[in-house]
Structure 1
Amino acid sequence: MLQKHAQHLCWRAGFGESLSAIKETEKQSAKQVFRKMLKDSEVYVPIAVVEPTDIAGDLRKLRMDKKENGGEGVERSKLKELQKERREEQARLNTTWLEVMSTEKGMLREKMAFFWHGHLVARSINASFSQSYVNTLRKYALGKFGDLLLAVSKEPAMLQFLNNRQNRKRSPNENFARELMELFTLGRGNYTERDIKEVARAFTGWDFDIKGNFVFRERQHDEEEKTVFGKKGYFKGEDIIQLLLENKQTAIFITTKVYQHFVNENISTHGHQEKIQELATRFYKTNYDIANLLENIFTADWFYAQQNIGSHVKSPVELLVGLKRTLGLKFEDEQTSLFIQRVLGQVLLYPPNVAGWPGGKNWIDSSSLLFRMQIPALIFTDKQPEINAKSDGDINTDYQTRKRSFRADMDWTAYASIFSDKEAKLMTEMSDFLLQVSPAEAVVQGIQDKTKTDSRTETVRKAAMALMMLPEYQLC
């Protein structure tokens, strides 16, 4: 593979990769490189930084403290302690998943789990529920879409977020049913209001217990006949998911979203629609095999066409993980990443709404671009950011707004050693590795002139910082 093509694959199917890893692909085909990425992602290891929830135990503890120590003040104090513990757990879960993305070899699994996090959207202030949800995304990320959809639909975070706990036969709640079809499977306009009502009835009784385990409450389930997509039956939730999978529109909808995220956001040109239709047909025939869909994309010649390289605006998480993964840097205070996520508008575990993050060019505006371009300088010179992370008034997210030191550990001597010893080649090699979109020659020459020092390591440090502060670094 050409270096530019290998980097394109590693950025889209992962979060970038070190130059030494890129160079290992030089004599391999795209299929060989992708198959290795798939093999590296075979093993699923759950993230386990949060203890399983004990809602009943927490409530008992509050009541006992109130009884033994007396007064509402004691109860409020203990409640604040519990809330603080939950926030700290959520922060630890966020930074742990970010670290897994940044360091583990199975980056294809993590990249797909991250994609599903923005598609099958759920959110919870209970860190145990969040951890269970994230692990389900990670477990099924490369398997069959139907298995993933069913498993996520039974997650306590999802049942709580889309109000299915309130979905009972005497008073159906249509929230989950609507989003299941509009955002998760068929897309708007491919179902009727009658379908929403009938699907909601099928999911009545889906709930979870005080430990966060899925339970089907038969007494709350509507057992009467339902008519969905013109078919009659005594449908339950599992039956609805099967009906959705049988509808080819689901394959088209999912394939389109995957294509826009991993290939090109603008699908109105260059024959993208034809490619999507062909991929969707295969996706449907393989019973929604996610790994197979990705292989068909990442090993196709057209994936490496010039119009697709450097066309993707890095999301804040992709930018952050990419910095850590390609440079091997590590923040002294890992919660620095929470502040960066908050300022740039993408905090893991906190999607803005059920539609997820808008993505693409929506990530770039004048203030966020300026901060993005300042991040390398903040990291490599240990400056303090002038920008503040705005509070949204939510006590559960205030911890994300605290300013922290950007100091990071980085072995610049080792990093400098991966590039050519020849001065004439150094800047070209660094630019080719760090940037998927080539800047003007005059810009690169200007950086070379300004960063040249007697110390090769210092020259590399300054040049890397300057290159990563260019607008082109925001693209992959």
Structure 2
Amino acid sequence: MAVSTFEKNKHLLSRAGFGIQFHQIADLSKKSTEEFWSQMNSKKSLKPISIVSPEDNLDYTTLAKMDANSKKEKLHKNREQNIGLNLKFFNEMVNSENQLQEKMAFFWNGHFATRVINSQFNQDLLNIVRENALGNFGDLLKAVSKSPAMLQFLNNQQNKKDHPNENFAREVMELFTMGRGNYTEKDVKEGARAFTGWGFQKNGVFFARPFLHDSGSKTFLGKTGNFNGDEALDIILSQKATAKFITRKIYKFFVNESIDESIVADLSEKFYASNYDIKKLMTNIFTSTWFYDQKNIGAKIKSPIELMAGIIRILPTKIENAKGLIVYQKLLGQMLLYPPNVAGWPSGEAWIDSSTLFLRMQLPQIWSGLRPLDVQPKADDDLEMGMGNIVQKNKNTVNDNFTIDWPKVEAEFKGRNVADILLQKKMNGDGKYIDQFSDGSIKMTIINIMSVPEFQLC
């Protein structure tokens, strides 16, 4: 069956961005897919997210000298800043015109996974991935590798001559560039020697400490020389395995969990030949005919962030206390800036279990005020970067937190097929059972359709 322009437009908006925004509903049938892509692909100004000032830096040497009250105040401010960064990033996903840039930043935030308490370090890394999201992968890799968040998280601050720490060298090859099977244990050891001395000053500024660097000859990925960290990364980038690993992961995230290896091989060759031009890679994906094949539409399960951002984009929503969004992020298993480990967030069916699926399907009803949130987040503050207090404080204020402008929504959806707009795949049985739980109003039709399993797909 041929895929209509209407379906292609919905597919593009859900994958290259965070879904249809309310004002785009009428254009789904009027504009061509090329027009939508041109809009998403056009260069727009990108403002850095700025919450943390240099004087707010959480320096543990200074912190240790503080009295109990000052220390408590400093840590509280740091927690507030972390939550602010999380919510600012989410707000950009929902409201920014730079949908492609923010979606790519979301991808890279999970790819270059770190989990540190220092809010300044989190802010620095967030802005690095946002600014470089559609640029050159080599530039992005080097900037991330020198960020204090990455250096601290993977212990390269402790990587010194005669006492190399292999954490960063191993993960940069296994998870960030080449993937398993494309390097040896000797490459890890020699790579670690190349990165000795890489660290940061108290203010978070990168500093290559020459007196801690191993300046001896190294044999790394088949090349021999007195390599430093930048040269080691250049050698990694010279491997075609890097282009294929990144392309494969991008394909899985943006196209389909089921990989078409022939397409990935072709894309990765072009990615390598372009010297790792991310924007060219994404253009090759989103302007291809195969991207709009029926098998790729509605083939992915929305991540929690995609689910929440998508609902708020298409339903004009006022949120009284934005911190309440953190509760939902925690309950659904995806807290922005805080991936579970260095491998990043899971994907696909890993997002769904008996408890999260139930909450996912209830979300439209809860946010519409039809039922309360009666699930409590687990208390594991060590995994929340000191944000547990904020979660606990706001968990009882989320029920009346969302106000949807239903008159505006109903006016826009009037006379339109609600299911066709909201769903990427048709409901089982053509959705006849929806009528059993509806009063016939547009509001209840929208809520009920958003509560079906098919709404979880993009």
TM-score (norm 2): 0.94
- Counterpart of 1:35 in structure 2 is 38
Offset of residue 76 of structure 1: 2.3
Q: How many Å separate the matches in 2 of 1:374 and 1:349?
A: 25
Structure 1 residues 49-448: aligned runs within 5 Å: 49-55=51-57, 63=65, 75-267=67-259, 272-381=260-369, 383-394=371-382, 396-398=386-388, 399-401=390-392, 402-403=394-395, 404-406=397-399, 407-421=401-415, 426=416, 429-441=417-429, 444-448=431-435
Deviation for aligned residue 1:449:
5.3
Distance 1:350 1:409, change over 3 A: same
Q: Secondary structure at the match of 2:199?
A: strand
Shift of 1:384: 2.7
Change (3 A) 1:379 1:54: closer
Alpha carbons of structure 1 residues 54 and 381: separation in structure 2 relative to 1, 3 Å:
closer
Q: Is the 8 A contact 1:25 1:33 kept in 2?
A: no
Deviation at 1:405, TM superposition (A): 1.9
SS of the residue 2:368 aligns to: helix
SS for the counterpart of 1:232 is strand
2:447 corresponds, among 449, 455, 465, to 465
What amino acid sits opposite 1:193 in the alignment? E
Distance 1:359-1:393 versus aligned 2 partners, 3 A rule? same
The 3-state SS of whatever aligns with 2:224 is: strand
Instruction: From the superposition, tell whether residues 57 and 8 of structure 1 become closer, same or farther in structure 2 (CA, over 3 Å).
Output: closer
Superposition deviation, residue 31 in structure 1 = 3.7
CA distances 1:397-420 after superposition (whole Å, capped 9, x unpaired): 312344132331221111111224
Measured after TM superposition, the shift of residue 452 of structure 1 is: 3.3
What's 1:16 paired with? 19
Identity %: 43
- Compared with structure 1, are the counterparts of its residues 19 and 302 closer, same or farther at alpha carbon in structure 2 (3 Å cutoff)? farther
Q: Is the 8 A contact 1:382 1:405 kept in 2?
A: no
State the SS of the aligned residue for 2:386.
coil
Distance 1:156 1:382, change over 3 A: farther
8 Å CA contact 1:54–1:210 kept in 2: the answer is no
CA distance in 2, matches of 1:60, 1:130: 19
Unaligned segments of structure 1, at least 5 residues: 67-74, 454-458
Q: Distance in 2 between matches of 1:277 and 1:169?
A: 39
Q: Unaligned regions of 5+ residues in structure 2, if any?
A: none
Distance in 1 of aligned mates of 2:289 and 2:232: 37
1:45 to 31, 44, 47: 47
1:55-109 Cα offsets, whole Å, 9 max, x none, are 588865874xx6xxxxxxxx22322222111111111111111111111110111
| TM-score, normalisation: structure 1 | 0.90
CA distance in 1, matches of 2:9, 2:22: 10
Kindly report the root-mean-square deviation, in angstroms, between the aligned alpha carbons of the 2 structures: 1.9
* Residue-pair matches, total: 449
Matched residue SS, 1:375: helix
CA distance in 1, matches of 2:341, 2:31: 42
- Which amino acid letter does the alignment assign opposite residue 243 of structure 2? A
